[in-house]
Structure formats: structure tokens, C-alpha cells
Amino acid sequence: MRLGVNVDHVATLRQARRTFEPSPVFAALIAQQAGADQITLHVREDRRHVNEEDLKLIKKLVIVPVNLEMAPTEEMRAIALEVKPDRVTLVPERREEITTEGGLDVISMEEYLSQYVKPIKEAGIEVSFFIEADEKQIQASKRAGADAVELHTGRFANLWNEHRFDEARKELERIREGALLARKLGLSVYAGHGLTYQNVKEFMRVAGDVVEELNIGHSIVANAVIFGFERAVKEMLSLIR
Ligand code: PXP
């Protein structure tokens, strides 16, 4: 299993004082050194955490692939085409949300997305859609030209954190089924959102063999504040490999 370390919340701490520290660029380099397979970051419309300067520096300095999460807007596409991350992950975005809630509704945007992704793909950037593990969303993603899907684990994570273990396992089964369908369609399959040092073990037990990569941010950064970034990344790696 590959690990993409999302460094957004290092910048959340920086933005609490709008100063220069801690730097998500520094965190990305340490994560890479600790064994992360990818650096992930979400440049949001309101720039509440990382911004395009962070993205440019991370792209320039890290050797592992960079995965840019972004809303499918003209502004973000221009940034992606300028910086050329290795992958673009399209996510839904609402200003008032605390974090990305729900997956991209590819079905209702299929025509728009199939046009939207063309220049990104032509630039040699892999395109992934962040979606619920729903059969129709997966099929629509394939039709719209996605190379990959990232399946939303937020519902599983919430159920697990509330100790609703039976429902959490059912949700994991749904994710597993979705992953199998996506693979059958020739899509690469990733997963993420809300994963922690506790619930990731159950994820691995049920769906670890059908997903290629996990993108994890908040829990790693939260533990890094207490134990250090290197240790936080290494401990997550030890749980998923
Ligand atoms: N994957 C996607 C597509 C996301 O939007 C996020 C949150 O930015 C994550 C993974 C990581 O989620 P978390 O910070 O809860 O680990």
C-alpha cells in the first residue's frame, strides 16, 4: 500500500497566525524522508491552508509524486497547468464546509468534467476523481475520462469513530465492492478521508488488497504535533505496509 501524506493542516497551523511557520514545504520534505510515497495538498478557493506558493515549492523540491486536490474550476485548472503536479484529484468544494464533505457528483457533471479534464490529461497529468463508492459514480468517472478514482472513506471513519462497528464494516464492504468495480473498468483505485491510526487497521483488513494508495492528512499532522512529523509518518506506514 502506498501512502500519500496530505500536508494541508501544517498550513492550517501556520494560518492560525498568518505567519511563516510551520511550513508545509518542510513537512513535505520530512514526510518524503520518512518514506511517504506521495505528497498531497488541497489548494482551496479560499486558501484557508496551503496556497499556490506552497504548491510550487513542494513540486520543485520533492522527488516523490505530488497530488493536487482541487475543485474543478477554471482558476484551479490554470494553476494545475502551470505547476504540473503528477496528479490532479478533483474534489467538490463548498466554502462553508470544515472539510470535504461527500464525493464529487460526477453523474450530474459528466459532460462538463469530460471537457474539463482534457487539457489536464494532454499535459500528461493523471486525473483522479474523489467519489463515493457508488456504482453509478464509478461508471460515470470512467466515461468522463478519469484515470483513477479516490474512494471517500469519510463515512466509514465517522462510523468507526462512533463505535458503530457493524455499520462501519458494511461501509467498508461497499468501498471494497466499489474498488473491485473500478479496477474492472481499468481505473486505478485510491482511498482516503478521515483515516486514523485506529481505523486504518480495519480498512486494511477489509479493503487493503483492492486499493493501491491511501491519502491521509489530519491524523498524521495531529500526531506529528505531539510526536514529530517523521515518527508520525513512519508509524502510519508501519500500519499499512
Ligand atoms: N483525500 C481527499 C480527496 C481529501 O480531500 C482529503 C482531505 O483534504 C484527504 C484525502 C485527507 O483527509 P484527512 O485529512 O481526513 O486524512
In order along its 241 residues, the chain shows pLDDT tens digits of 999 999 999 999 999 999 999 999 999 999 999 999 999 999 999 999 999 999 999 999 999 999 999 999 999 999 999 999 999 999 998 766 777 778 999 999 999 999 999 999 999 999 999 999 999 999 999 999 999 999 999 999 999 999 999 999 999 999 999 999 999 999 999 999 999 999 999 999 999 999 999 999 999 999 999 999 999 999 999 999 9
Atom of ligand 1 nearest to the CA of 42: 8
The answer to whether position 139 is within a domain reads: yes
- Cα–Cα distance, 51 to 45 (Å, whole number): 9
Domain count of the fold of the chain? 1
The answer to whether position 9 is within a domain reads: no
The answer to whether position 235 is within a domain reads: no
The answer to whether position 198 is within a domain reads: yes
- Cα–Cα distance, 160 to 7 (Å, whole number): 24
Q: Is 213 in the pocket of ligand 1 (CB under 6 A)?
A: no
The answer to whether position 1 is within a domain reads: no
- Cα–Cα distance, 92 to 106 (Å, whole number): 10
- Please indicate whether residue 193 is annotated as part of the active site: yes
Q: What is the CATH number of the domain that holds 162?
A: 3.20.20.70
- Give the residue, by CA position, lying nearest to ligand 1 atom 6: 193
Indicate which residue of 9, 42, 49, 152 is catalytic: 42
State the pairing for strand pair 126-131/87-90: parallel
127: domain range? Answer: 42-212
The answer to whether position 61 is within a domain reads: yes
Q: Which segments of the chain are extended strands (E)?
A: 2-6, 38-42, 66-70, 87-90, 126-131, 148-152, 188-192, 213-216
The answer to whether position 229 is within a domain reads: no
Q: Is 196 in the pocket of ligand 1 (CB under 6 A)?
A: no
- Give the residue, by CA position, lying nearest to ligand 1 atom 4: 193
The answer to whether position 5 is within a domain reads: no
The helix/strand/coil state of 136 is helix
- Peptide bond between residue 22 and the one before it cis (omega within 30 degrees of 0): yes
pTM for this predicted structure: 0.97
